Amino acid sequence: MEQQHPSRYMRGFIPYGAAAFLVGIVGGFTTVLSPAFVQDIGIAYNNTTWAALALAISTATFAPILGKLCDMIGRRITLLSGIAVFTLGNVLTAIAHSLAFMLAARFVVGIGTAAVAPVIMSYIVTEFPPNAMAKGFSLYMLIASGAVIFGPTLGGLMLKTAGWRFMMWVCVAISILVFFFCLLTCRKTVFERKSLADFDVIGSVFVFLFFSLALCVPSFGQNFGWSSPAFWIVLAAAAVALWLLISVEKRAENPILKSSFLARKAFILPILALFLTQGLMQANMTNIIVFVNYTQPENTMISSYAISIMYLGMSLGAIILGPLADRWEPKAILTGSLALTGIGCAVMLLFSADSSGFLLASALGILGLGLGGNGTIFMKVVLSGLSPKEAGAGTGTYGLFRDLSAPFGVAVFVPMFTNRITAHIPAKMAAGLSETAAAAAAAVNSIRVLALVELICVVLGIVVVRMLPKIHTKAKGE
């Protein structure tokens, strides 16, 4: 690829950066949405799992499908279409009056997100020079994470003063503004449009079916019981869908999931580490909100401040740790950033019923610092050397597994936390505590158990990272 002057590829990145800002700022606002919504309509907090799952399913499963489509119709059309769908999803969220309607609305938001994210990564892979790719991903992570820094706090303020519906209409307004900005600034590029007749429609269906069911497996097990008929039905359906997916993709001329890309050690190991660690981000955000609601119900804003600190940590991790992967071996930097996520989880062992905002923010801030570095460097490792003609498909496939890691953490760790609280409240009350005190005590016990489990996952993630292949090779005589 012909080397471009930095000002050219950076200038071309502006509309893609705006799209990253949009997804980040709206994502920040809506971190407080699910608990507020279920409280508003009077249902149990563990229903936050389903709202998060609906968003996660569409965000993850549509990423490789829309990434592949991006290679066929072009980045500009895909970007603008994704923002339009994202806007529609936020409109539907703002008018939702039932759990079913809210799940459908968040599903639509996820489709829009699934179109936007691979396009941004595709631009970095194809337009940034190889020796600046980590910087490009760091910039992406900085914008996405930086936009979220004030999101939970501002979202919490809007929630407290005007309600969650007002907050969602603000998200709609921002989405519309960004759409028109991208429409005016996203330049058309020389692109050979491909025939949609070659698109793997059947493969797309089974990609959606299998990965949707795979995300439902842990949620159904946690919420309905690991021996329940519902769990076994979903598990069996996922197994059948996997078999059909493999069969269909083997025969496809232009498959959604390309085996040569998936089978690389540089893909498998980072994805395994992602599942062990990055899922902590979404899970801990939701769990901290629920933890504060149980222990300090009169002070719900404290969790919003803490989550903002987490995203500040992610932004710092992206700009401090991420670019180091352009200079030094990525797995060495990853070992340090994963250790930071472990320290953040260890601080959670100190939580109590009257934990200060400083302690909550310290845990999430340190965790965020590590996650910001991880997210950037994993992209560098997985996407290095990707062909420009397959950039959309490759980034979409990576986006699928990256986006699966967070909902996987939510599906496992949120029910583990909330269900443990629900199960232990009666025992605490039987011991003589009031209902409020029993709930607080159960929440403290549950958050500490959760922290121990997460620490084990971080240690395993470090072991996996140490097995990564080298990215930087020394020249002769160096």
Q: Is the pLDDT of residue 319 over 90?
A: no
Would the pLDDT of 208 be above 70? yes
3-state helix, strand, coil in the chain (%, to 5): 85, 0, 15
Residues 2-6, mean pLDDT to the nearest whole number: 50
**What digits encode the pLDDT tens for the residues 413-464?**
877 788 888 888 888 888 888 888 888 888 888 889 888 988 998 999 999 9
387, exposed or middle or buried, with CB in 10 Å at 0-12, 13-18, 19+? exposed
> If we measure between CA atoms, which residue out of 113, 116, 121 comes closest to residue 137?
121
Q: Does 474 have pLDDT greater than 70? A: no
Contacts of 370 (CB under 8 A, 6+ apart): 313, 317, 337, 338, 339, 340, 341, 342, 343, 344
Q: What would the mean pLDDT of 193-208 be, rounded to a whole number?
A: 78
CA-to-CA dists, residue 371 to 92, 366, 390, 403, angstroms = 31, 9, 27, 14
| Confidence category of residue 3, pLDDT binned at 50, 70, 90 | very low
The Cα 476–Cα 444 span in angstroms is 57
What is the DSSP annotation of 24-42? HHHHHHGGGHHHHHHHHHT
pLDDT of residue 182: 93
> Across residues 115-125, what is the average pLDDT?
88
Sign of torsion over alpha carbons 302, 303, 304, 306: positive
In the numeric block, the tokens 């996987």 are attached to 408
- In tens, the pLDDT along 357-373 reads 788 888 888 988 888 88
Distance in angstroms (rounded) separating the CA atoms of residues 122 and 128: 10
Tokens linked to 420? 């443990």
* Banded model confidence at residue 244, pLDDT cuts 50, 70, 90: very high
The predicted-structure confidence for 81-97, as pLDDT tens digits, reads as follows: 999 999 999 999 999 88
User: Which residue's structure tokens are 């609906």?
Assistant: 54
pLDDT per position as a tens digit, 8-64? 778 888 999 999 999 988 887 887 787 778 777 777 666 676 777 788 888 888 888
User: Among the listed ranges 71-75, 174-178, 314-318, 411-415, which one has the minimum average pLDDT value?
Assistant: 411-415
Task: Count how many residues are written for the chain.
Answer: 478
The model's pLDDT over 271-295, given as tens digits with 9 standing for 90+, comes to: 888 888 877 776 787 788 788 888 8
